[in-house]
Amino acid sequence: MNNRNLMTHTTARTARTTRTVRTLGAALSLAALLATTACGGDSEAASDGGGSGVTLTIGDQAKNLQTLLNASGALKGTSYEVKWAEFEGAAPLFQAVQAGAADTSYAADLPTLQALSGGVPVKAVGALRNDGTHTGIVVREGSSIRDVKDLKGKKVVVSSAKGSIAEYLLAHVLEQAGLSYDDVKVQYLLPTDAQAAFTSGKIDAWATFGVYKAVAEQQGGRLLVNGADGRVSGYGFIGASEKALADQGKKAAVSDYLRRLDKALAWSRQHPDDYAKAIQQNNGASAEIAKTLVSQANSQLLPVSSQVVKAVQKVGDTMHGIGVLTPNPTVADHVDTSLVKE
C-alpha cells in the first residue's frame, strides 16, 4: 500500500496512522482470536440463565461490545463462561458463526442481510438503533469531489466487504443524486487496508463506518456525506446462531446476555465520560475520537419489531435491485422475538 512518491515524513505518517487504526479496530486476521474472559462461574446468577458448564462465545467487531460490557461491569456474576470472538468486520464474524466458532453476532442491517443471503444459520434476536452518523463517505481534504454527484467515474472503496452498511449508504446516496451504482468504480477492502490506501492517496473516496470513519476524518479526511436523515436505516442486530438457540442452556445464556447488554447500554447513556475513557484505554483512541464514538453509539436494545423488519427489508430490496444482494432474504423469516420484549 506504500506510495513510492510520497515524501519520507508522509510515509511515516501513513505507517503511524495504519498502526493506530490496527489498534483501534482490533485488526485481526480472518480467524478469530478467542480470548477467554474471566467473568463466569458465579453461582449467584444461576437463575439468570445458562447453568455451569455453558460457554457463550460472543461475536464482536473492533472490541465495541467488549469495551462496553467490561466498562459497565454488566457481565459480572454470570453463571456461564464468556469468550470473545473479535473481528475487524462483519463478514469474518458471520463466517465464525457459520463455523460454530461464535454463538452470537453483532452487525448492521446490510451485513446481516448478506449473511442471511449466504445461508448463515443465524436469527436476529435483538435490534440496535443509532442516528446513522457513524457511517460516512470520506474524501481527501483537497479532493475535487464536493458532493455526491462528483463521485461519477471515481473509484470508491467500500469497507469491509460486499454488502456492508457503508455500501448501502453509497448505493442510497447515489440513487438520491440521480446516479446509478454503475456510475462509480467500487472496490472492497478491509478497513485497515483501506485506511492505508486512503492515506496514501490511492483512492478517491472511502465509504466506511465507526472508528475507521472517525480516524479518517482526524487524519486529513473530509466527510462528504453521512448516514443521518434516513440515508441508512440506523438499525443493527444482535444475532444468535440457530445451533445456540436450539440448545436450552445456550439459549438461556443468550437471553441473559441480552439483558446485561441492555443494562450496559443504559450505563453508557448515564456515564458518557466514563465510557469514553474506557474506549481510550481499551482501544487506543484519542480523547476526541472516543467522544465521537460515544456520541454515535447505539443507545438501547430493542425488540425486533415489525417496524424494524420493514425498515431493514427496504434496505434488502434496494441492494437486491442493484445486484449486490442475491438472493434477497425475507427478514421476517430470520428473527426470534422471544428473547427481547418491549
How far lies 114's CA from each of 90, 103, 289, in Å?
Answer: 10, 18, 29
Amino acid symbol at 25? G
Beta bridge partners of 298: none
Cell 462483519 sits at which residue? 90
pLDDT at 276: 93
CA dist., res. 265 & res. 77, Å (int): 18
Domains, in order of start, for the chain: 55-130+234-333 (3.40.190.10), 135-226 (3.40.190.10)
Question: How large is the average pLDDT for residues 113-119?
Answer: 96
> Per mean pLDDT, which range of 31-45, 86-100, 129-143, 257-271 is the poorest?
31-45
Q: Count the Cβ atoms, other than its own, within 10 Å of residue 46.
A: 14
Dihedral over alpha carbons 262, 297, 302, 335 (to 10 degrees): -110
Percentage of the chain lying above the pLDDT 90 cut: 61
pLDDT at 164: 82
Q: For 226-244, what is each residue's pLDDT tens digit?
A: 999 999 999 999 999 999 9
Question: Crossing angle of helices 90-99/109-117, nearest 10°?
Answer: 40
pLDDT at 8: 31
HSE-up of 158 (CA within 13 Å, CB side)? 21
> Per mean pLDDT, which range of 16-25, 183-192, 200-209, 242-251 is the poorest?
16-25
Chain mean pLDDT for the chain? 84
pLDDT at 18: 38
The SS3 call for residue 105 is strand
pLDDT at 10: 34
pLDDT at 50: 61
CA dist., res. 50 & res. 304, Å (int): 22
Quick one: 93 exposed, middle or buried, by C-beta within 10 A (0-12, 13-18, 19+)? Answer: buried
At residue 215, does pLDDT exceed 90? no
At residue 24, does pLDDT exceed 60? no
Q: For 66-84, what is each residue's pLDDT tens digit?
A: 999 999 999 999 999 999 9
At residue 261, does pLDDT exceed 90? yes
pTM: 0.76
Rg over alpha carbons for the chain, rounded to the nearest Å, is: 20
pLDDT at 191: 86
With a CB cutoff of 8 Å and minimum separation 6, the contacts of 158 are 164, 166, 167, 170, 186, 187, 188, 189, 207
pLDDT at 37: 32
Q: Which of residues 123 and 191 earns the better pLDDT score?
A: 123
Report yes or no: 21 and 215 within 8 Å, Cβ to Cβ: yes
pLDDT at 77: 95
Q: Count the Cβ atoms, other than its own, within 10 Å of residue 323.
A: 9
Q: What is the 3-state composition of the chain as percent helix, strand, coil, each rounded to the nearest 5?
A: 45, 20, 35
At residue 179, does pLDDT exceed 70? yes
